[in-house]
Chains A and B, each alone.
Chain A
Amino acid sequence: MTSLKKAMLLFTVLFIITGLVYPMTVTLIAGFLFPNQAHGSLIVDNENRVIGSALIGQNFTAPQYFQSRPSASGYNATSSGGSNLGPTNPILLELVDKRTNALWKAGITDPIPSDLVMASSSGLDPHISLESALIQVPVVAKARNLPEEKLKALVLTESVKSPFTGAYVNVLSLNRALDEMNQSNE
């Protein structure tokens, strides 16, 4: 048998094993054992509509919500990616300046944590740092006419601690909890 024929046969067998059997088996087992995670950790409302994914960030800009991070892709979950702006690029500095000023204007006190004015790597970062959530409390409290203490407590219960980074908050989860709190108040 020539080397070419051997190579073709071996490739065919390994192709079937690694390219079809392996991913299909993982799909079946993962779908069986971890159906929620395997299908995207989707959040579904009472009317069975998909609101989003617990892992994928959404764009929140209205004052009654906690803002998410800036995104180079506008939270388009079919076009992930970062800005790729370099550290000395004037466009980056201009953007950061604009975002910082907008936050100051909205009533947030300085200094602004960097994650709130600099775009993420995926464009879909679901989190902001705990600090970034806390400095937004007065603004959201005012827009919703809620006591600041109550909001602060909510942010702290929503915050996740990690041994490798500081504490952070899932913005979608926080804003959902916020709306639920408002509804139960009414």
Chain B
Amino acid sequence: MMITQSVTMDGLMLILFLVIVTGVALPLSNFFFRVFSGDMSRGILSHIEKTIYRLIETDSDREEGWRGYAQDMLIFNCIGFVILFILLLLQGFLPFNPQNFGAFDLLTAINTATSFVTNTNWQVYSGETAASYLTQMAGFTVQNFLSSATGICIAIAVMRGITRQSTDKIGNFWVDMTRCTLYILLPIAFVFALILASQGVIQNLDPYVQATGHGLHEQQTIAMGPVASQEAVKELGTNGGGFFNANSAHPFENPTSLTNLIEVFLILLIPVTLPFVFGRMTGRMWQGWMIYTVMLILFLGGVCTLYAAELAGNPLVKELGVSGISMEGKEVRFGLWESSLFATSTTATSCGAVNSMHDSLTPLGGLVPLFMMLLGEVAFGGVGSGFYTMIGFVVLSVFIAGLMIGRTPEYLGKKIEILEMRAAVITVLVPGVLVLLFSGIALVLPNVSELMKNPGPHGLSELIYAFASMSQNNGSAFAGFDASNAFYTLIGALAMAIGRFVPAVAMLAMAGSLAQKKKVPPSSGTLPTASITFSIWTILVILIIGALTFFPLFAMGPIVEHLIMTGGV
């Protein structure tokens, strides 16, 4: 099967796929722009919108400064945490629980609630043996909407901060949340949930089905549930928490080659749209294209490396008389190309859904998802979070370039000063510092190697992957690693919360500061930020920060394992 694989065909398919995503993102960005300026309020949804504003006594035209915006965002997310936490503890007493699952234990509940509120969807439980249908719908699906809407709102507030002048207002959080959920996430998720259901993704409230099995009658109990409605928003909001343990590798979550492409499309859609929304807001589409290009190049680098590493396969297995690529942890219906595309997309954004088991990828193949996460998930990034982290990198690049060529650092006419730099550095470095710090602590604890499923350097890769995934709010895993004990559930929850909210608040602070500044008209001393040179420069800054911070870990984990596998040492 794999021998007939044509690399050229796969390359063309990749280009075609990205053209389609971009082709949809461009008009969608116009829609985003209008939604957040209140231009889309009509129809039945607008009726609901106005009722909400009456209920919470909010005037949709009254905006807040960054402190108010951040405070509302944090309060809203705290409520989300508390409600989900309670749901998990009470699920045994609640309806829509045909399998009679009992409560989550306390630590698992803390970890899981944090995980879904922070858009991480790191899962220490297994969906089909622990979560009731009510928990999946009213717990996880709700957070899949609201955590991704939170990210988008922050990104929009940051865009406003950059493009406005002489004001301290960056938006009204309640209004942004309402509009984002009602006009953007809900309709898209609804349509795609039905499309997925038509292709075989299940959607029911049935108890698990007893099947006789064919032939020699091996009984099989088949897990059921309302999967399609969650699957659509899980990908659209780059959440990634699987309904089932096997996530998007499970045939009921992702039954065909086509549903797989639809799911990757949904993962990339909003992250690709946001740079263009920014372009429209600034009134200079080239600024959006510049950010898009930087993201695209990093993404293409990732997908091609992963594809090439998996295409080369595992020589240790070939020696045993086995032909083809390493199929351990891969599904036949996805094959090489669709597995590579999914694995890169899910970690280049903050999604974390998987259609192959990353733990079983070849060493360099597995390095790609790890690398994409540690770069800060900026290519194309999680919904909202990817965009504002990218703005952090752009500001950093402007500043460093400004220092090197002796110009006043400014971005789109706004002077970059101490406060902006603090916010950018916090945003860019906090998740990485968490990874190094917590991995370091974990490594000196006794018996850490017993938690690793695989021996040698691969075990280290598993540990780093776990903290990278949690700190960067990704949620995918080298799932052999056992992170279910008290230390990892609690410190993991801490990493997810800090990794989510510290950069978010820092970027809102930057937005507030930038909004107050007057725009300086471009002069001969202005560094043009929509140029090829500046794009390359930004890519280099991102790569240097990602690669230099973590290179020792890459060297001791995946790279050593690659050398062992290929007989290089």
CB-based nearest A residue for B139: A19
CA distance A129 to B189 in the complex (A): 33
Which of B129, B327, B331, B454 sits near A86, CB closer than 8 Å? B454
A38 contacts B by Cβ under 8 Å? yes
- Closest A residue to B198 by beta carbon equals A34
Task: A10 to B77: give the CA distance in the assembly, Å.
Answer: 11
Interchain residue pairs with CB less than 8 A apart (17): A10-B174, A26-B193, A26-B228, A43-B214, A50-B209, A52-B213, A55-B251, A78-B223, A79-B126, A80-B249, A82-B357, A85-B454, A86-B359, A86-B360, A121-B330, A127-B333, A162-B333
Within B413-471, which residues are at the interface with A (CB < 8 Å)?
A: 453-456, 458, 461
Cα-based distance from A95 to B298 in the complex (angstroms): 37
Supposing A40-B202, A114-B317 touch, asked if A50 and B212 sit within 8 A by C-beta, the answer is yes
In B72-86, the 8 Å CB interface with A consists of 72, 75-76, 79-80, 83
Taking a contact as CB atoms under 8 Å apart, the answer to whether B230 and A23 are in contact is yes
Residues in chain A near residue B194, CB distance under 8 A: 26, 29-30, 33
Within 200-218 of B, Cβ neighbours of A (below 8 Å) are at 200-206, 208-216, 218
Does B102 interact with chain A (Cβ within 8 Å)? Answer: no
Is A17 part of the contact surface with B, judged by Cβ < 8 Å? yes
Cβ-defined contact, A114 with B323, below 8 A:
yes
Q: How far does the Cβ of B191 sit from chain A's closest Cβ, in whole Å?
A: 10
Q: A6-B56, A87-B561 are in contact. Are A114 and B332 (CB under 8 A)?
A: no
A82 touches B138 (CB 8 A): no
The reply to whether the CB of A151 lies closer than 8 angstroms to some CB of chain B is no
Does any Cβ of A come within 8 Å of B564's Cβ?
A: yes
Q: Return the contact of A27 from the options B80, B205, B335, B337 (Cβ within 8 A).
A: B205
Contacts of B197 in A (CB 8 A): 26, 30, 33-34, 37-38
| B561–A126 touching, CB < 8 Å | no
B138 touches A20 (CB 8 A): yes
Q: A87-B314, A162-B335 are in contact. List 5 more A-B contacts (CB 8 A).
A: A3-B68, A52-B212, A114-B322, A114-B328, A127-B331
Nearest A residue to B477 by beta-carbon distance? A84
Report B234-247 CB contacts with A as 1/0, cut-off 8 Å: 00000000001110
How many angstroms from the CA of A86 to the CA of B398 in the assembled complex?
A: 41
- Quick check: B190 and A22 within 8 Å, CB to CB? yes
List residues of chain B with CB within 8 A of the CB of A42.
209, 211, 222
Contacts of A87 in B (CB 8 A): 314, 316-317, 326, 328, 360-363, 458, 561, 565
Interface pair A23/B137, CB less than 8 Å apart: yes
A80 to B223, CA, bound (A): 10
- Judging by beta carbons under 8 Å apart, are B320 and A11 in contact? no
User: Assuming A78-B208, A124-B246, is B202 touching A10 (CB within 8 A)?
Assistant: no
* B160-200 to A contact mask, C-beta < 8 Å, 1/0: 00000000000000100110011000100110011001111
Contact between A122 and B211, CB atoms less than 8 A apart: no
Contacts of B382 in A (CB 8 A): none
Task: Determine whether the beta carbon of A127 is less than 8 Å from that of B332.
Answer: yes
**Cross-chain contact A126 with B226 (CB below 8 angstroms):** no
Residue from the list B213, B334, B337, B361 in contact with A58, Cβ < 8 A: B213
Chain A: minimal CB distance from B194 (Å): 6
Question: Contact mask A70-84 → B, CB, 8 Å, 1/0?
Answer: 000001111111111
Listed from nearest, the 10 A-B pairs whose CB atoms lie closest are A165-B335, A129-B1, A84-B480, A166-B1, A80-B246, A121-B249, A86-B454, A19-B138, A82-B357, A86-B458
Flag B472-515 by CB within 8 Å of A: 1 or 0 each.
00000011100000000000000000000000000000000000
In the complex, A167→B455 CA distance in Å? 35
B139 to chain A, nearest CB (A): 7
Q: Is the CB of B564 within 8 A of A3?
A: no
Can you list, as one digit per residue, whether each of A20-50 has a CB less than 8 Å from chain B (1) or not (0)? 1011011101110110011111110100011
Give the contact-size bracket for chain B: 35 or more
Q: Are A112 and B321 in contact (CB under 8 A)?
A: yes
**Looking across the interface, which residue of chain A has its beta carbon closest to that of B217?**
A51
B57 near A: Cβ within 8 Å?
A: yes
* A145, B146: Cα distance in complex, Å: 60
* Contact of B220 with A77 in the complex, beta carbons under 8 Å: yes
- Min C-beta distance of A15 to chain B, whole Å: 5
| Bound: A175/B216 CA distance, A | 11
Classify chain A's interface size. Answer: 35 or more
A88 B561 Cβ-Cβ under 8 A: yes
Q: Are B320 and A77 in contact (CB under 8 A)?
A: no
Complex contact A79–B79 (CB within 8 A) = no
B residues near A125, Cβ cutoff 8 Å: 251, 331-333
CB-defined contacts of B200 to chain A, threshold 8 Å: 37, 41, 55
Interface presence of A128 (CB below 8 A): yes
CB of B255 within 8 A of chain A?
yes
A20 contacts B314, CB within 8 Å? no
Determine the distance from Cα of A79 to Cα of B230 in the docked complex, in whole angstroms: 19
Please give, as numbers and ranges, the residues of chain A lying within 8 Å of B233 by CB-CB distance: 18
A77 to B129, CA, bound (A): 11
Residue-wise, chain A 49-64 has the 8 Å CB interface mask toward B (1 for contact) of: 1111101111110100
- Interface residue from B145, B178, B228 paired with A10 (Cβ < 8 Å): B178
Bound together, the chains give a CA A23 to CA B255 distance in angstroms of 20
B329 at the interface (CB under 8 A from A): yes
Across the interface, which residues of A come within 8 angstroms of B321, CB to CB? 100, 104, 110-112
CA distance A106 to B458 in the complex (A): 34
What string of 1s and 0s marks CB contacts (under 8 Å) between A156-184 and chain B?
Answer: 00000011111110001001100100000
Complex formed: what's the CA distance from A27 to B190 in Å?
A: 11
Q: Does B142 contact A (CB under 8 A)?
A: yes
Q: Are A89 and B79 in contact (CB under 8 A)?
A: no
Q: Are A89 and B458 in contact (CB under 8 A)?
A: yes
Is the beta-carbon distance between A113 and B324 smaller than 8 angstroms?
Answer: yes
